[in-house]
Amino acid sequence: MFAEGDLAPGDLDEAFATAEAIGDDRLQEQAGQGVNPDSFTHGSAEQRRAWFEEGYSSGDPSACDTFSPDSI
């Protein structure tokens, strides 16, 4: 893992939880709205976690190209 030595215990879990908490689906649910994927601007909780994990585990910014992949 790229930044493993720079993290305190629990930092990675906290980062994953934060990435998920600010997913468009979670924000819509918290606002009392129905989840509408067509209105997402920054991805679902699952997508945000997956891309954070991809970037962290690879350490390569080009691995986080969210515009080109065929699937997430």
- The pLDDT assigned to 28 comes to 94
Give the whole-angstrom CA distance, residue 30 versus residue 17.
15
How many CB atoms neighbour CB 24 within 10 A?
A: 19
Q: Which residues of the chain have pLDDT under 70?
A: 1-5, 69-72
**What are the C-alpha distances in Å from 63 to residues 9, 30, 35, 36, 67?**
25, 31, 28, 27, 11
Give the whole-angstrom CA distance, residue 70 versus residue 72.
7
CA atoms within 13 A on the CB side of 26: 15
Q: Which amino acid is at 56?
A: Y
